[in-house]
Amino acid sequence: MNKNLFIFFSLFICQAAYANQPTEWQLGFQKAASESMREIVAFHDKLLLPIIIAISVFVLFLMLYACVRFRASANPIPSKRTHNVAVEVLWTLIPCLILIVIAVPSFKILYKQDTIPKADITIKAIGYQWYWGYEYPDENIIFDSYMIEEKDLKSNQPRLLAVDNEVVVPVGKVIKVLITANDVLHAWALPAFGVKRDAVPGRINETWFKAEEKGTYYGQCSELCGIKHAFMPITVKVVSDTEYQEWLNEARIKFAKEEIKNSQLKLASK
């Protein structure tokens, strides 16, 4: 009974803090971990939600009012009115004004997301059926990132979200992400950073984020790409500068690009 009550109430109560991944009975957004996402959440909570609620309440009131005021029993002779210029002007103008009020901050946020600041680190994400491949072009690092099967999960790893090779980035740095695909359309999305871009074969899309807190952040492919679309998650690990350098040192060897490995082998054999 208590559990049912909890579930019932949690449907209506907005939970204050989310992890960096979806949670059970979640209704709102994940906790924002970047400035862009904070702006998106504020735009939704402070502008869209009040407008949605006001319009819904107003329409409900109009429907109830019309049902009572113009019911058949109180109006034996129905009105024959068909037009009312004042009302028609109002119901055209007011929605236009509402749309303009929404458009201005919306475009502001969109343009801000679209303008990529000077990048500290560039990574490239390539969508494949059905996993993600990553490159750090400046570091000559390349690796694939597969979902971990349920039977192989460790206790702290979430189902359908954890991957074998995570993307590692330092905290507080501008990360530019180049996104493309090798076969069909995919989309690289990380809700906590407010990032989502289509991965299109033969084309490179760009986006960026600046993580504000250390932690592990989970996202998923967000463009229906085939039978295993649900099984190509995205994991980004945000770490401190020194931890990132340590990871880089290991990754440069472990995930070295083939041609570099070959050239090293050639050098070694000489």
| From 47-55, 59-67, 156-164, 178-186, span contacting Cu ion (CB under 5 A) | 178-186
> Environment class of residue 100 by beta-carbon count within 10 Å: exposed (0-12), middle (13-18) or buried (19+)?
exposed
| From 59-67, 104-112, 137-145, 224-232, span contacting Cu ion (CB under 5 A) | 224-232
Q: Does 177 bind Cu ion (CB under 5 A)?
A: no
| From 79-87, 135-143, 163-171, 219-227, span contacting Cu ion (CB under 5 A) | 219-227
Cβ-based nearer residue to Cu ion, 229 or 252: 229
Compute CA 115 distance to the chain's CA centroid, rounded to the nearest angstrom: 18
Q: How far is the CB of 167 from Cu ion (least distance, A)?
A: 17
Q: Does 225 bind Cu ion (CB under 5 A)?
A: yes
Q: How far is the CB of 177 from Cu ion (least distance, A)?
A: 16
Q: Does 126 bind Cu ion (CB under 5 A)?
A: no
Cβ-based nearer residue to Cu ion, 108 or 228: 228
Q: How far is the CB of 179 from Cu ion (least distance, A)?
A: 13
User: ∠ CA 114-198-182 to the nearest 5 degrees?
Assistant: 130
Tell me if 144 sits within 8 A of 133, measured CB to CB: yes
d(CA 65, CA 86): 19
233 pairs with which residues across the strands? 220
Cβ-based nearer residue to Cu ion, 175 or 199: 199
Q: Does 125 bind Cu ion (CB under 5 A)?
A: no
- The gap between the terminal CA atoms of the chain, to the nearest Å, is 75
What does the block give as tokens for 152?
A: 């192989």
Single residue of 142, 161, 177, 221 touching Cu ion by CB under 5 A: 221
Tell me if 132 sits within 8 A of 190, measured CB to CB: no
Single residue of 173, 229, 252, 257 touching Cu ion by CB under 5 A: 229
Compute CA 10 distance to the chain's CA centroid, rounded to the nearest angstrom: 23
Compute and round to an integer the Cα radius of gyration of the chain: 26
Q: How far is the CB of 208 from Cu ion (least distance, A)?
A: 22
What does the block give as tokens for 255?
A: 């995930």
Q: How far is the CB of 233 from Cu ion (least distance, A)?
A: 10
| Residues lying near Cu ion in the complex (CB under 5 A) | 186, 221, 225, 229
